[in-house]
Amino acid sequence: MSKKSSNEEIVTAFFYALKLEQGLSDNTISGYISDVNQFIRYIEESNQHLTLVDEVIIQNFLNEIRIKKIKNKSVARKISSIKQFYLFLLKEKYIQSNPFDLITQPKTTGNVPKPLSEEQIEQLLNSPDEADSIGFRDKTMFELMYATGMRVSEIVDLQLMQLNLNQGTVRILGKGSKERLVPIGEYAADYLLEYLKFHRSGLLKNKKSNFVFLSNRGQNMTRQTFWHSVKKYAKKCGIHPLPSPHMLRHSFATHLLNNGADLRVVQMLLGHSNISTTQIYTLVAKEKLKKIHHEHHPRG
């Protein structure tokens, strides 16, 4: 028999389940709750209780969203959030069956990452002035991101205790406080060693900090600062259109797959909990293979 609680009480219980049981980040939880509350506002306007919702009501809600010309990617995210919510309702016995089992997510378009070529990566990585401490910092950040596939937030939040240069690894704290251990590679490790030994102390300006990468004021860097650096060097070496902040991460994944890496290994290195997220990079890799086949096969 289903529980009797108000919609608000159920959403609060869902919030604590996400926070305490799944250990998701505040941003992820905020997104889930926002999507669920939008759905609840819709059903309450129809004088419905969420435990009595069927697939017809859900479909009407989705149709209304699409009329507002919300992108398929956003619609898919909302469906995913509300599906998670109904899985929670089922698990906690608020409902006896899940109406979202009958709903399929729309295909997303326009979200295939466009990586830089290996030649463009070389240009970008060689753009910073290594004679300058800021330039050497930027060079080291770019090398580390391309070597590990770290997210921008993971790079700027990186702390000294996460590095093990003797073993050549970095312990990354990813989404949902999930940890992964990723090899750095000799090239990035050499730059990190030199940066920490000769350049970081100059950026500290007699302050104390556990962050690896520092601003010119001795503070930890922001994502905006990282983005400005990428944009500046991309302009310098004539890369158009300007790459996104995550372009080095996208390029890391695509270049690994292009050179024969196993998809499961790439998933682990990127910190994806679901391999379907990683599979999007195989689309990019396949496009390159098609192009090579077309250009070099006599019947291409």
Q: Is the bond leading into 241 cis (omega within 30 degrees of zero)?
A: yes
Distance CA 12, CA 180 (A): 31
Write down the pLDDT at residue 190: 97
Q: 68, 102, 136: which is the final residue of a domain?
A: 102
**Residue 169 in domain:** yes
Which tens digit of pLDDT belongs to each residue from 178-221? 889 999 999 999 999 999 999 999 999 889 999 999 999 999 99
Residues 68 and 192 in one domain: no
Pick the catalytic residue from 199, 249, 250, 255: 249
CATH number for position 251: 1.10.443.10
Same domain, 225 and 80: no
pLDDT at 1 over 50: no
H or E segment to which residue 27 belongs: helix 26-45
Domain with 51 in it: what CATH number?
Answer: 1.10.150.130
Cα 167 from Cα 194, distance rounded (Å): 16
Check if 246 is active-site: yes
Q: How far apart are CA 128 and CA 236, in angstroms?
A: 9
| Residue 182 burial (CB count, 10 A) | 20
Q: Which amino acid is located at 222 in the chain?
A: T
Domain count within the chain? 2
- Cα 163 to Cα 252: distance, rounded to the nearest angstrom: 20
Query: Which of 41, 72, 102 corresponds to the end of one domain?
Result: 102
Same domain, 144 and 83: no
> Is the same domain home to 48 and 149?
no
Name 180's bridge partners. Answer: 172
pLDDT tens figures, 47-64:
777 778 887 788 778 777
**Whether 272 is catalytic:** yes
Catalytic, 281? Answer yes
> Is residue 110 domain-resident?
no
**Catalytic (active site) residue 299:** no
Domain of 56 in residue numbering reads as 7-102
Is 249 an active-site residue? Answer: yes
In a domain, 286, yes or no: yes
Indicate the pLDDT class of residue 46, thresholds 50, 70 and 90.
Answer: confident
> Is 175 known to be catalytic?
yes
Residue in 78, 200, 246, 255 annotated catalytic: 246
DSSP 257-296: HHTT--HHHHHHHHT-SSHHHHHHHHHHHHHHHHHHHHHH
Rounded mean pLDDT of the chain?
84
Same domain, 96 and 221: no
pLDDT at 284: 67
Counting residues of the chain whose pLDDT is more than 70, the rounded percentage is 86
